[in-house]
Amino acid sequence: MLRKLILAASRSPKVEQVVVGAPVSRDVVRRFVAGSTIDDALTVTRELVDEGLTITIDNLGEDTTNLDQAAGVREEYVALLAALSAAELTPAAEVSVKLSALGQLVDEKAALENVRAICTAATEAGTTVTLDMEDHTTTDSTLEILATLRKDFPTTGAVLQAYLRRTEADCRELAGAGSRVRLCKGAYKEPESVAYQDKLDVDKAYVRCLNILMAGDGYPMLATHDPRLVAISQDRARWFGRSQDRFEFQMLYGIRPHEQRRLAAEGYTTRVYVPYGSDSFGYLMRRLAERPTNLMFFARALASR
């Protein structure tokens, strides 16, 4: 219930004004976000890479409403990739991109051209791009853009959300050789008609999807902080004879950092999703929705002022 309320609030400009304007927000944001500039993202990336982790960087922002803004996002990614390359942080670091930030909701063709420019910059920098998945109204469009991009940039990564009823079928489609698929539970407020609502049903769906990806010929990227799913993933890797270099774990910056380092120390490729930028509201609200105790963190920070 609380999760649904927070996710509904994440679409409210009034709530955004209150949350972003609150003095406490900076402390909460700092826990989950690297900072607001490319330099901030590079500093955090360097620290994490030095600790044996790999990285995917997200320039925060979504639901762009005009193409000038989308072009600005594209140029930010191009500059980020050049900076990563100059700092010799590629290929350890790649980038994650939200198509809605590149104009998907305004003009799909323009969004495709924008993401194509980012893929070109990534190739020049010697690294890859993964297309984040947003709410279910964008799934078909995102997978179509992915299929087009993969003709020229075959290593472009996809994200599939286990909570969607359609996802097992999408996993089968994308389990082939050369495919990179991030499997996550899913972070948006979705109707029952398209998504499992019960946590246990989502977890079971995650395992079914995991089995399909692990049995396939692609490269599964298991994005979860759930200890049970991490253990099941390790078990399935043994079962399907996948060595540690044929899949990876992914976790979000600031969430279970000790577990991230433990997995890396055990030889698992562990990729940290590092967001940066000033438009942190939607991202932050999804993190609050995932874990009500994050609200306590927010409240404690407020009380200590």
Contact 126, 90 (CB under 8 A): yes
Is 132 considered catalytic here?
Answer: yes
Query: Which one, 188 or 298, has the nearer CB to ligand FAD?
Result: 188
- 159 CB-near residues (< 8 Å, 6+ apart): 130, 131, 132, 133, 181, 182, 183, 184, 223
Q: What is the largest distance, in Å, between two alpha-carbon atoms of the chain?
A: 53
Please check if 133 is assigned to a binding site.
yes
Supply the minimum distance, in Å, between the C-beta of residue 113 and ligand FAD. Answer: 21
- Residue owning tokens 């980012």: 118
Supply the minimum distance, in Å, between the C-beta of residue 31 and ligand FAD. Answer: 9
Contact 272, 253 (CB under 8 A): yes
Query: Which one, 82 or 261, has the nearer CB to ligand FAD?
Result: 261
Please check if 305 is assigned to a binding site.
no
Supply the minimum distance, in Å, between the C-beta of residue 223 and ligand FAD. Answer: 4
Query: Which one, 51 or 82, has the nearer CB to ligand FAD?
Result: 51
Nearest partner of 48 among 56, 37, 36, 59, judged by Cα: 56
Which string of DSSP letters, residue by residue, matches 182-216?
EEE---S---TTTB--SHHHHHHHHHHHHHHHHHS
Supply the minimum distance, in Å, between the C-beta of residue 127 and ligand FAD. Answer: 16
Contact 255, 31 (CB under 8 A): no
Decide: residue 115, CB within 10 A, 0-12 exposed, 13-18 middle, 19+ buried: buried
Query: Which one, 112 or 158, has the nearer CB to ligand FAD?
Result: 158
Please check if 186 is assigned to a binding site.
yes
- 245 CB-near residues (< 8 Å, 6+ apart): 269
Please check if 151 is assigned to a binding site.
no
Query: Which one, 111 or 159, has the nearer CB to ligand FAD?
Result: 159
Contact 251, 270 (CB under 8 A): yes
Question: Which of the residues 74, 150, 180, 182 is marked catalytic?
Answer: 182
Query: Which one, 82 or 207, has the nearer CB to ligand FAD?
Result: 207
Supply the minimum distance, in Å, between the C-beta of residue 171 and ligand FAD. Answer: 15
* Residue 137, SS3 per DSSP: helix
Question: Which of the residues 58, 116, 132, 236 is marked catalytic?
Answer: 132
Which residues of the chain form contacts with ligand FAD (CB under 6 A)?
A: 132-133, 159, 161, 182, 184-188, 223-226, 250-252, 255-256, 273, 287, 290-291, 294
Please check if 287 is assigned to a binding site.
yes
Nearest partner of 181 among 149, 216, 208, 153, judged by Cα: 216
> What are the phi and psi torsion angles at 166 (to 5°)?
-80, -10
Please check if 109 is assigned to a binding site.
no
Rounded CA-CA distance 294/285 in Å is 10
Supply the minimum distance, in Å, between the C-beta of residue 56 and ligand FAD. Answer: 7
Please check if 286 is assigned to a binding site.
yes
Please report, in range form, the residues annotated as the binding site for substrate. 98, 286-287
Residues with a known catalytic role: 132, 182
Please report, in range form, the residues annotated as the binding site. 98, 133, 161, 185-187, 199, 224-225, 286-287
Please report, in range form, the residues annotated as the binding site for FAD. 133, 161, 185-187, 199, 224-225
